[in-house]
Structure 1
Amino acid sequence: MLSTNNPNIYTVSRLNSEVRLLLENEMGVIWLVGEISNFSAPVSGHWYFTLKDSRAQVKCAMFRGNNRRVNFRPENGKQVLVKARLSLYEPRGDYQLIADSMQPEGDGQLQQQFDALKMKLAAEGLFSQQSKLPIPEHPKTVGVITSKTGAALHDVLDVLKRRDPSLNVIIYPTMVQGEEASLSIAQAIGRANDRQECDVLIVGRGGGSLEDLWCFNNEIVARTVAASQIPIISAVGHEVDVTICDFVADLRAPTPSAAAELVSQDQSHKASQVLNLVAALKRAMSGQLSKQHQTFVHLQHKLDKAHPQYRLERQAQRLDDYQSRIEQAMRHYFNAQTKHLIQSGHQLHMASPKRRIDIQSQKVSHLSDKLNNLAKRTLLEKQHQLAMQMEKLDTVSPLSTLKRGYSITHKSDGSVVVDSTVVKQGDTLTTRLSSGEITSTVIDSKPL
């Protein structure tokens, strides 16, 4: 017979605990798209639901602190995009997701694809400044790749005519919106390179929504722009619009009109150099910020795993589970007793002599008293168990720390201030007390 002290023999509790830690540590944060079903929102404020597709499903929990940031009401049958971390609900051994954020599928899917392609191409070096071709200072022929009926072409031609009427312009008409637009743009760039009749190419269109500009975020367009032997200026949308084409191109112009000004300048070639340097600086800053953001996300994930909120969330889910089981047990018990009373009443009705009726009435009264006493005793026991669980939960709650006179200070972005060097003069801080909050402005900060 094997000893239970053998470290190779697991208890169920130990197995579930180690599997939970393995899932949380190895998988980290994931994005998941699916359809909501079995949505439940108990009085605790937490959400419980299932995400499913045509072949599989997974249970999910979203705790009150996170679901307050969701700006729509989840409904069964709704497709959503969820950011979550993998976990395990130890008491039942259920594998589940703990959701941190949720948004309708259509709103987040394009941005998710944009970020993924951006990271992929950046890792391959397609955004590197070393791979950029110089824009000629005095081009003789300019190629314009855009829609032949769009306002962007009209704006470009107007600027070129006003600034340098002698400049040759070759138009390569293409679609700039729709499913076939990406291939059409890539083919137009390919034709210009085959003919080698231009000194520089302007690729772009007027402004629009993210969906309207999506053809310029296509991998085919990005790789075609990167492979072009003719320098390319990306001029997509308005100044606030950013596409993958902007990152890959040799230079990004904020608008099609601005691109036309860049290639048609006479005495303003120094301004072009400044713009090139600014664009290079922006790309370098973007790369550095992206790298720092990845480091921050990694450190934030490690910090989150050590946060008391994790334990509070697990305890909160366990408390909701206990409450649900208590309510279900009470319903079953009362239903059984009610059925028994009905059967006793029927038997009493069938025995018509008054003496038997009186005896049965006394029995019914006794059973009723016994039922009430048992119900009260059961309810008191369950309330006592619930109070003990709540007391255990309260011992690890940050609110207990606040009641002892401590406080938690947050910056305006929600991050916790643990070091005076992360704030500067003029920052607005919110200090959480045991009762209420204080909003203050930093006058000075000094490290210890």
Structure 2
Amino acid sequence: MRILTVHELTKHIKTLVEKDHLLVNVWVKGEISNFKAHSSGHLYFTLKDDLSCVKVVMFRSKSRLVPFQPKNGMAVTVRGYVSVFERDGTYQLYAEGLEPDGTGALYLAFEQLKKRLEQEGLFDRRHKKSLPLLPRRIGIVTSPTGAAIRDMLQIIGRRWPGREIMLVPVPVQGEAAPQAVAGGIKLLNQVGGVDLIITGRGGGALEELWTFNTEIVARSIFHSKIPVISAVGHETDTTIADFVADVRAATPSAAAEIAVPDRKDMARYIRTLKTRLARAVDEKLAASKRRIESCLLNRVFTSPLNAICGVGQQSLDQLESRLRQAMYGTLERAGSHFAVLAGRLNTLSPLATLSRGYCICATLDRNRVISDTASVEIGEQLSLLLHQGRLEVVVEKKECDISINGNRF
């Protein structure tokens, strides 16, 4: 009896599994759990149903082709092959394709990206830029061989000939298309002198329009400093680019009509403006003429001397009379007030006291007023100021007590 090592046993089981034709290309449906997206780009998760579960590995080369974001709890169908992971001795399902169960993968990816970008505000109306009325240079990012570019060039040339068109030829379908379209929009922003950008393509299936449902194209439109018109597919087709763009056109032909006005319509509009301007000028001149005529009928212009010498002179005389009366009244009131103040001042004046027989006694040099006998000596000369005049006297006698009308002081 042969005894096998663990590795030999595991390798034998792996060989048996890999030789099974059913397990070489198998489709398995279930619910995702334990989902993990590794930094390397590989996906690891468990696929389960009510009774069993199996580990699933999806390498980066395959996972980057999955258009939607797998999540725990999502029902999916996995296409791949079964093999044994020798290190752990477990069998695993190596996924080569992944689709949501019950809905298309592209539709699910569309809804996921739309919801995420909407939450970030990329669809917000406040970010939308206004289109120029008459762009001098129009940049178009599309396929150079499709019917879309031919229709747009024809319509722009018919509606407003002579517009400068800058075409950035890019593939609009395939794996390299999203990067090319985003690069074309960025290039037009760097070139300068471009007033408007149109990007899009003709109609097709959802897979054919998918370039304009990618995140890289959506963000390039959002970050464009130049207004962008999205023109993808037919009228019923809606892409992520339509939501992000400043203006959505139903078709490439409609985008060309939005981009430039019709020359004939513009000419009619200019003629209308010219007529309205001429009418406005005529009405303004007529109104000014009526105002001048009304002013000329005024008495100031019809009888200027009467205005000056008549009513004007009478008003001037009345004002002069009122001014004189006011002036005389003011002077009279001021004179009366002055007399009252002079009377009060005269009552308090020392001259009035002197007029009643009093005098002011001071030293001869009049530097000091004498108010008592103790401050003078016998023989000292004093000066007496009277109501009228002055006397110089010599002190011969001093008395401390004096009597007036029988009263001693």
TM category, shorter? 0.3 to 0.5
- Structure number with higher helix proportion: 1
TM-score, normalising length: structure 2: 0.42
Question: Larger C-alpha radius of gyration, 1 or 2?
Answer: 2
